Structure 1
């Protein structure tokens, strides 16, 4: 795991839209401008040059179109026609946002007190409907680390992130990423690494618009964003262009990892000689995979546009699919016992009393 005491940059401005509104962006005066990595400027050129279609059909045909079967996450409704699933949604699932304070800082009072921010992505099958109660442990969660600690707010901000752990179980999330620890040093004695603090939960989708991939999300908890969420760039509805880095090319010195992702030959061939390609869900299934997140100040609806082929096939609108998922998740989280913090921890099979409460103010 990367050194949690590394301070890679200053705070940056964040914005948040009203629930179910994406055009209006309100700047937050508390975030300061963050310099982008100039060595990443080639990303846009490579993305524009990418002509390979990334559209893929992730819905497989059911043998019995009138049988309802139980999935690992709830109920899979096989009576729903295959054509209803928009092919532009490559993956969907539950997203969690966490932050961890610096050594000996249990409750951060500003962004500078944060050692790192990370995202947990928990995919669910394309045709699954969220059932009541916590999700079962499928052992397929991914932990993404954000070295900048904040999310990019607009197209001028492009920040690297990397997969710290893929295929993570709830026990691994609890033991390796959420829990705090104490350790001894020769000069300062006992030091304390604080437990991770939740700052949000919601639903997400990885989508394709043909020549670019997007990571879009809708926040379920907290229902009203606070100062912490705004300063870290978490919005009620947010989206980023997401591209995967070709491990063949070196990373910037400030974003270099000790190991490259162990991509199979098939994925390596997708890169050809490009530095970046639109991210596919399976790219995130490898530890040390590096991705570039480019902010979209008003791109949420664009990232969920119905593609031409899906329109002709009368498929469901991707936005409607996401809103339905959000509604089911909101109902599900309300049914979990306790407050917002307890609901998030219950969903991850963690005892809430052992960890910090969800933080909304500094």
Structure 2
């Protein structure tokens, strides 16, 4: 049986991403150990819209493009700027490429089940608001973010509300390779040499952070793998998915099980946005500060709600958000199709890493 699974995984990894149908550590650092799961006290304070239950007012999550989009310099970007951006939906606050990774527990090179996974990770690589993805690997703009999901599994319904936090913001590809992708050996007094395995990719695609007025959403469309496997299904990584996202006010302490060693160093402008609220709809620049905590509330209805167009955009006959997202997905499909090697090689080429040095894309346990 094990041989059949390995043959299946190898076969899937060799499939060309261009054939995809067109559709819509355990880390030895002890300071992260207590973030394994958030307590019910956090989610109890949040309603289904990602707002505090005791506060009836809404926070306007729209902001000027320059503030909501940290990657605004075309010369640092991977994509080709459009000639005009007047048709870009205003509800899309940020767009880019998304990667999903897992890391096995200490001395577990290849997880055989969810319990063998120490952490799941999401990597966001923003591109300019008015840009298109061009052929070839992404250029290093030094604006990549590494997000940690201690619960390992993504939330898939409104009843599931999981915290993630920003492990590293403004990361360069060298930092990603040296501090995130690579495995590590370390010495312990009781068990001798231990090994924290390298991070393993389980998916790549495109994403958008959007606003529907009262809420913010993180939506994604998967490009790789072509077909979802056991790993993706177990971790609830879908072909398309979205979450309501809310940012925690660092003024209020977290439960002990979800407490980080240091609060995010938000500037005064962001702190003022919170007022006295514990949570506000997330904005793209909230992801640009280490230790920022984001609550993900699952959405079982797919990405349609996250892609709701703004009324003023409809009046101006602007492109619909869903159409813009589908165009970005198609650009990524074409881009990854022309990358050399299999799906794993394409992902690592994007991150300027040598595929032979790291684990292959995992789809089976």
Is 1:150 equivalent to 2:142 in the alignment? no
Which position in structure 1 is the counterpart of 2:36? 8
Which TM-score applies when normalising by structure 2? 0.86
1:212 paired to 2:215: yes
Match of 1:74 among 63, 75, 79: 79
User: 37, 42, 58: which is aligned to 1:51?
Assistant: 58
Could you tell me how far apart the structure 1 residues matched to 2:35 and 2:211 are? Answer: 33
Give the C-alpha shift of residue 136 in structure 1: 0.2
Aligned residues: 327
Match of 2:342 among 339, 346, 351: 339
Question: Unaligned regions of 5+ residues in structure 1, if any?
Answer: 10-34, 61-68
The corresponding residue for 1:200 is: 203
- 1:241 and 2:244 are equivalent in the alignment: yes
CA distance in 2, matches of 1:255, 1:140: 26
2:266 to 263, 281, 286: 263
Deviations 1:263-302 (A, max 9, x none): 0100000000000000000011000000100000004111
TM-score, structure 1 as length reference: 0.87
The answer to whether the 8 A contact 2:34-2:256 is kept is no
For 2:339 and 2:224, how far apart are their aligned partners in 1?
A: 12
1:315 equivalent to 2:318? Answer yes
From 97, 102, 115, the equivalent of 1:99 is 102
Take 1:322 and 1:77, find their aligned partners in 2: how far apart are those partners? 15
SS in 2 for 1:303: coil
Spell out, residue by residue over 1:19-63, the C-alpha distance to the aligned partner (whole angstroms, 9 max, x if none): xxxxxxxxxxxxxxxx97243211225176342321234279xxx
CA contact (8 A) 1:71 1:128 kept: no
2: CA distance between counterparts of 1:136 and 1:127?
16
Partner Cα distance (1:212, 1:254) in 2: 27
> Structure 1 residues 289, 188: closer, same or farther in 2, change over 3 A?
same
Contact 2:162 2:297 in 1 (8 A): yes
Inter-CA distance 217–83: structure 2 relative to 1 (3 Å threshold): same
Distance 2:338 2:310 in 1: 35
**Cα deviations across residues 248-272 of structure 1 (Å, max 9, x unaligned)?**
0011211100110000100000000
SS at match of 2:356: helix
Q: CA deviation at 1:7?
A: 8.7
Displacement of 1:101 in angstroms is: 0.2
Distance, in Å, in 1 between the alignment partners of 2:175 and 2:189 is 29
Gaps (5+ residues) in structure 2?
Answer: 1-26, 68-73
- How far apart are 1:6 and its partner, in Å? 6.5
RMSD: 1.9
Distance 2:40 2:149 in 1: 14
Matching of residues 1-362 of structure 1 within 5 Å:
3=30, 8=36, 37-44=40-47, 45-46=51-52, 49-58=56-65, 72-78=77-83, 80=84, 82-362=85-365
